[in-house]
Structure 1
Amino acid sequence: MHDHAPRGIRAGGPRRLLALSLAITATVLVVQVIGAVLTGSLALLADAGHMFTDSSALVVALVAATVAARPADDRQTYGYQRAEVFGALINAIILVVLCAVIAVEAVRRLLDPVDTEVQGLPMMVVALIGLVANGVSLWLLSIAQRTSINARGAYLEVLGDLLGSVVVLVAAVVVWQTGWMPADAVASLAIAVLIVPRAVGLLREVVAVLGERAPSGTRVPDIREHLRDAKGVVDVHDVHVWQLTRGAPVFTAHIVVAQEVFDEGRAGTLLAELQSCLAEHFDVAHSTFQLEPAGHIEHDHHA
């Protein structure tokens, strides 16, 4: 069952949604920086740093998505969709560096507490603003991230912002109600811990795409057996499945067919059936088949 097409503000493509999220993130960034200065909160400053990094990452994602939309040409025969993967790679690296910076500063604050008093109530108000804004951005990107690895990277960063806002909000309440100032530094460290798994997960997905692994959840043996069940197909070999970016799988295979398929002029019909089979059962829109008569000998075997 497929989801209904999004309507309203989420009806645009990934680039439009990324641009809206960028506008929201940049606005909240300014609010958090001002709030950090006024309240003396390290957690707000750390979250503002996260938001600044996310703003930069969203710019990278927006540029990558724009480049990826360019049509294929004689030099880029598959088009520019792989640009999204490189954009996601940059985002993942930014996340890892951000985690390290936040962790170091939080530990330094815990080991060498500063005398600056953190104002809990204003800190809580700013955290609430960030929480609402990040929730809106997350909602905007929830559709685009299903089909774009680049939007997926931006989605994960906004999710990290949302969780960071929750942590800052809890720390603000603790400081406001109890006066325990180290809660601010602990919240900063917690933000770094929350980001790490998402950064690692995104890096793994980028490596999988660049390494041309089969998409997650794709079982090549199942596809091979499905193709073999087609009328006139004798065997299937040299199967390759990879993806240009998230949601853009590519499939190639050599199909050994009975001689009568060629004799009866059914090769074109069989080819169309195989392509429709992959599109309908395995969501593979781009497939290439080489039809070979039974007994055909390959002259360019490879390991």
Structure 2
Amino acid sequence: MLVEFIGGYLTNSLALLSDAGHMLSDSVALGIALAAVYIGEKSSNTRKSFGYQRFEILAAAVNGLALIAISLYIFVEAIIRFQHPQAIHVEGMLIVACMGLFINIIVALMMFKGSDTEHDLNMRSAFLHVLSDLLGSVGAIVAALCLWFFDWAWADPLTSILVSILVLRGGIQITLKSSHVLMEGTPDQFSPEQIQQEIQSHTEVLEVHDLHIWSLNSKRYILSCHIVVSDQMQMSEVQDLLHILEHQMQDLGIEHVTIQTETRSSIILVTGCASLGPHGGSVDKRASKLSLGLQQAYAVSENTANRLSPLIIRSADRYEVDPRLISAIIRQESNFNSNARSPTGAVGLGQIIPSYWANICGTDLYNESTNINCTAHILSSYYQQGGSWKKAIAYYNVGPTGYESSFWTRWKV
């Protein structure tokens, strides 16, 4: 690089000067690429759960933009040389260009053999920098020979323009690809339609939506989606299906897979709780069933499930509400956190607003028994008011007034 810069200055060759400037930027680019490899290997932490692997893509984007800037600068300088030709020391230009070509060939071969330039976007951008340097040296040699044998003064700027076009093309490609990854676009090798068909090929999957496929870096791919399954599937069956789908996606090259299951019904059935009504046995017997169902379906701790299940059963019996519905409401509203409080002032397991219900339910709505009893009372009242459990659920979420005034909410119900 230093030899080409001095040689270009002494010989007045734009081809050598542009190649020297290009090599200077390449040295910086290679430094960034090496730093990206080192930083990308750092382990993840709570602030950066995926680690620093995407730094590789940031480095590639910087290198791509640098290539574009360099090529445009060379192009402008070449146009000026066309308008104002300058004398060039051909022999010195040829010697320095040959030296540059030799060094660039060695570096290019070392990078080609020692790194994954086909799949690693960061190393590919660095390799393109070196390759464009090599082409610049070739161009300088060709220009020197044309000047030596034919005295073509325009050969030097013309060669610079041709090299700048090649550099510009590579820079644009790298920048577009790295931008696509940073924008979390779908990788070219994956078809969302085909992936969706693969998932829906399983008879248990009724629907697939919110499907997203993106890249963390040049080699690691991520997928997330929601699938709708039958209400009648047991938790163990759902888990088996998820394991099959995860392995299927990993076989396609998608390393990190997150699939969320849903049902068509507004009421989420608690696994293993088919008969929890008054005719299903004693309160203790039904509470034991419900406790197991809460642990399996909602991942509630054993202590919490054992403590809340009898309260839910008794409140359900009192107000003639399905205990599974009360459980689903508690899961939706507080995820079984009796100390939960929303910004709007709703409190407890069922997220009840005291100003609306304290006179009927009692003032201590953080009390688990009081809150569950109030939740069942509200659901029962809304059922009598709306005439169906689906309306009762909608009323619980948005209120009777909110439901009646919203066409969208009514349509969803």
| 1:42/1:188 contact within 8 Å kept | yes
Residue aligning to 1:224? 196
Alpha carbons of structure 1 residues 172 and 127: separation in structure 2 relative to 1, 3 Å? farther
Identify unmatched segments of 5+ residues in structure 1: 1-28
Distance 1:237 1:275, change over 3 A: same
Secondary structure (helix, strand or coil) at the match of 2:77 reads: helix
Structure-2 separation of matches of 1:46 and 1:84: 27
Q: 1:269 aligns with which of 228, 240, 247?
A: 240
Quote the Cα distance in structure 1 between the aligned partners of 2:243 and 2:80: 64
Shift of 1:113: 1.6
Q: Output the CA distance in 2 between the equivalents of 1:107 and 1:139.
A: 34
Q: Distance in 2 between matches of 1:246 and 1:278?
A: 17
Matches within 5 A, 1:187-266: 187-262=159-234, 265-266=236-237
Amino acid at match of 2:109: V
Displacement of 1:293: 3.3
Counterpart AA for 2:260: Q
Query: Are 2:204 and 2:229, in contact at CA under 8 Å, matched by a contact in 1?
Result: yes
- 8 Å contact kept, 1:71–1:80: yes
Query: Shift of the alpha carbon at 1:50?
Result: 0.9
Deviation at 1:61, TM superposition (A): 1.6
- C-alpha distance 266-151 of structure 1, shift in aligned 2 (>3 A): same
Contact 1:134 1:162 in 2 (8 A): no
Residue 172 (structure 1) shift: 2.6
Partner of 2:141: 169
Bigger shift: residues 115-124 or 54-63: 115-124
1:284 aligns with 2:254: yes
Q: Which amino acid aligns with 2:40?
A: A
Q: Which amino acid aligns with 2:106?
A: A
Aligned match of 1:24: none
Q: CA deviation at 1:231?
A: 4.6
Q: TM-score, length-normalised on structure 2?
A: 0.60
User: What does residue 49 of structure 1 align with?
Assistant: 21
Counterpart secondary structure, 2:209: strand
Q: Distance in 2 between matches of 1:297 and 1:86?
A: 45
The residue identity in structure 1 corresponding to 2:244 is E
Q: How many residues align?
A: 270
1:113 to 85, 88, 100: 85
Shift, 1:219, TM fit = 0.9
The one-character-per-residue Cα deviations of 1:131-183 (angstroms, maximum 9, x if unpaired) are 52354145236x52333222222122223223223322322322233233331
- Using CA pairs under 8 Å that are at least 6 residues apart, name the structure with larger relative contact order, 1 or 2: 1
Go from structure 1 to structure 2 and tell me whether the alpha carbon gap of 1:137 and 1:124 turns closer, same or farther (over 3 Å shift).
Answer: same
Q: Which has the larger displacement, 35-44 or 160-169?
A: 35-44
Residue by residue, what CA displacement relative to the aligned partner does 1:235-293 show, whole Å, maximum 9, x if unpaired? 21111111122222211011222345425x22222212111111112x11011011223
* Counterpart position of 2:60: 88
- Amino acid across the alignment from 1:57: A
Task: Determine the structure 1 residue equivalent to 2:378.
Answer: none
Tell whether the 8 Å contact from 2:57 to 2:121 is kept in structure 1 after alignment: yes
126, 129, 135: which is aligned to 2:99?
126
Look up the SS of the partner of 2:234 in the other structure: helix
Mapped partners of 2:109, 2:192: distance in 1: 38
User: Identity, % of aligned pairs?
Assistant: 31
Of 124-133 and 201-210, the range deviating more from structure 2: 124-133
Indicate how the Cα distance of structure 1 residues 205 and 296 shifts in structure 2: closer, same or farther if over 3 A, else same: farther
Is contact 1:46–1:102 with CA below 8 Å preserved after alignment?
yes
Structure 1 CA distance for aligned equivalents of residues 149 and 135 of structure 2? 21
Mark the runs of 5 or more structure 2 residues left unpaired by the alignment: 269-331, 333-396, 398-407, 409-413
List per-residue Cα deviations over 1:79-122 (Å, max 9, x = no partner): 11121222122112211221122122222222112234322542
Q: CA RMSD in A?
A: 2.6
Distance 2:14 2:204 in 1: 69
